[in-house]
Amino acid sequence: VEARAAVKAAIEMEGPVYLRFGRLAAPIFNDPETYQFEIGKGITLREGKDVTLVATGLMVSEALDAAEQLEAAKRLEADGISARVLNIHTIKPLDVDLIAKAAAETGLLITVEEHSIIGGLGAAVAEAVCDTCPVPVVRIAVNDEYGHSGPAVDLLKEFGLCAEHIVEVTKASMAKKA
């Protein structure tokens, strides 16, 4: 649903456009009847008050799954976490207003991307937060190392690009909140 909408927006846009698609199929979480894709405007997929998971591409569904796991822990334990999830489908231009609002309201951002930790979503979000509402930003991405070969699902887990790792990092990062 999102890929189709992004291609349509790219066709209609004046100027150069770069679209990046993952190798794996991703779960569909957007309703094709109501989904509105707008270049430069992220989408809040889930509300939360303790932390914001800022994701793009294949990692959006993993962030949603992690938020569910964190919420389930909240019902079972005292240390559960209410996680907001943002789908930032456009990195440039970046929806700075949505990110600044989330930073102000939750006080901690965890970015999740299937991309190098250098120069991607995490870097863009960190710059935006520094300029608007300084709060801790923790980045989950492919570390700056040589690439590996293998089945895509195995590589995602190897690099910590899965809901379980997002949950671990989020729990560990809560102490960074002011």
| Digit-coded pLDDT (tens) for 27-52 | 898 899 999 999 999 999 999 999 99
Q: Which of 1, 7, 4, 111 is nearest to 52 (CA)?
A: 111
What would the DSSP string read from start to end of 109-167? EEEEEEEESSSSHHHHHHHHHHHH----EEEEEE-SS----S-HHHHHHHTT-SHHHHH
- Residue 79 pLDDT more than 80? no
Report yes or no: 139 and 109 within 8 Å, Cβ to Cβ: no
| Residue-level pLDDT at 27 | 87
| Digit-coded pLDDT (tens) for 89-141 | 999 999 999 999 999 999 999 999 999 999 999 999 999 999 999 999 999 99
Strand partners, 116: 142
Instruction: Please give the DSSP secondary-structure letter assigned to residue 176.
Output: G
| Digit-coded pLDDT (tens) for 132-166 | 999 999 999 999 988 788 898 899 999 999 999 99
| Residue-level pLDDT at 78 | 65
| Residue-level pLDDT at 23 | 77
| Residue-level pLDDT at 74 | 65
| Residue-level pLDDT at 26 | 83
